[in-house]
Amino acid sequence: MNTEESVLGALEPIQSIAGAWQNFISRWPDYVIRLATAAVIILAGCLLLRFGRRVIRKICARAATGKRPKSAAQTKTIQSLATSIFNYILYFAIAIIALSSLGVDVSSLLTIAGVSGIAIGFGSQTLVKDFISGMFLWGEGRLNVGDIVTIAGQTGVVEEIALRTTTLRNNSGYVYTIPNGDIRTVVNMSRDFRWAQVDLPISHGQDWDAIIRVLQDEMKLFAEERKLENTPEVIGLIAADRFSATLRVQVKCAVKDDWVLERAMRQAVLTRLAKEGFKP
């Protein structure tokens, strides 16, 4: 009797595995259909993502050329933020529909997510702060895609403004992703105009008035050659130490033109000073 019971006990796992296998074989068409449905939903969602992003681009392009056209920077900013919101919503919808097609009880998941979300919310205050800060950044217009800014200690061109983060690329090509909640002070160098400034250290013992006259003459020629709206102004001496004194030349220019003008002005004034016999 004990032998029979031990044999039956040993056969139980095998019988259960066999039963599970038979159940799988009998229901495999249903599993295949569910997997295929989920795959189709995911594929359709990916296509809808591409289509939606294209629609957003077209709408923003129309806004840029409509009756009340927006600037290119504003258009890119709205497009970036709208795309971010659209992605979040569609990813969530695709996940819910795909899980539902696989037989997962989505309603119970949503209930659990709603209850646990309250608890998780207390631990994810930073995430909520990032979202809220992103909405304020966009609403207040302090940042636009394409602006040259300094935020959170990093300087670069704004490449993307999303709900949670802002992306900058600096002059070296490095990309910085900054949480919106960390943005406190924004130094925006792309509004209205810029000052192209060149500081020239000049050795002591030279005729400062003569040097200033030479620089003023050179800057008039420089403005005429480049057809500038404003003639660069020679500010004069702005600093001095025991080795040299510093002269400043500056001109008001369009945004993003300052670096080009600074290089050109520096070359022009150094060439003219050397020609006139003055030593930097």
Q: 96-109: per-residue pLDDT in tens?
A: 888 887 777 766 65
Strand order in the sheet with 186-188: 175-179, 165-169, 154-161, 148-151, 186-188
Q: Could you give the C-alpha distances from 200 to 46, 184, 220, 237, in angstroms and in order?
A: 57, 35, 18, 9
Q: Please state at what angle helix 72-101 crosses helix 125-140, rounded to 10 degrees.
A: 140
- DSSP H helices in the chain: 2-65, 72-101, 106-123, 125-140, 208-226, 258-276
User: For residue 247, what pLDDT is reported?
Assistant: 92
* 3-state SS, residue 280: coil
The CATH code that applies to domain 13-115 is 1.10.287
Alpha carbon distance 84, 76 (integer Å): 12
Tokens 């939903």 map to which residue?
A: 41
Tokens 């795909």 map to which residue?
A: 98
Residue 99 has phi, psi (to 5 degrees) of -65, -40
Domain ranges in the chain with CATH number 1.10.287: 13-115
User: Of the CATH numbers 3.40.50.620, 2.30.30.60, 3.10.180.10, 2.40.10.10, which one belongs to the domain with range 126-188?
Assistant: 2.30.30.60
125 falls in which pLDDT band (50, 70, 90)?
A: low
- Bridge partners of 15? none
User: Which stretch of 3-17, 40-54, 171-185, 261-275 has the lowest confidence by average pLDDT?
Assistant: 3-17
Query: CB–CB of 237/245 below 8 Å?
Result: yes
- The residue with greater pLDDT, 25 or 161, is 161
- Global confidence as pTM: 0.50
Query: Closest Cα partner for 230 from 196, 268, 200, 191?
Result: 196
Question: What is 194-276's CATH topology?
Answer: Alpha-Beta Plaits (3.30.70)
234 falls in which pLDDT band (50, 70, 90)?
A: very high
Instruction: Report the mean per-residue pLDDT for the chain.
Output: 79
Alpha carbon distance 63, 75 (integer Å): 7
Query: Closest Cα partner for 60 from 50, 74, 47?
Result: 74
Domain ranges in the chain with CATH number 2.30.30.60: 126-188
176 falls in which pLDDT band (50, 70, 90)?
A: very high
132 falls in which pLDDT band (50, 70, 90)?
A: confident
Query: CB–CB of 118/155 below 8 Å?
Result: no
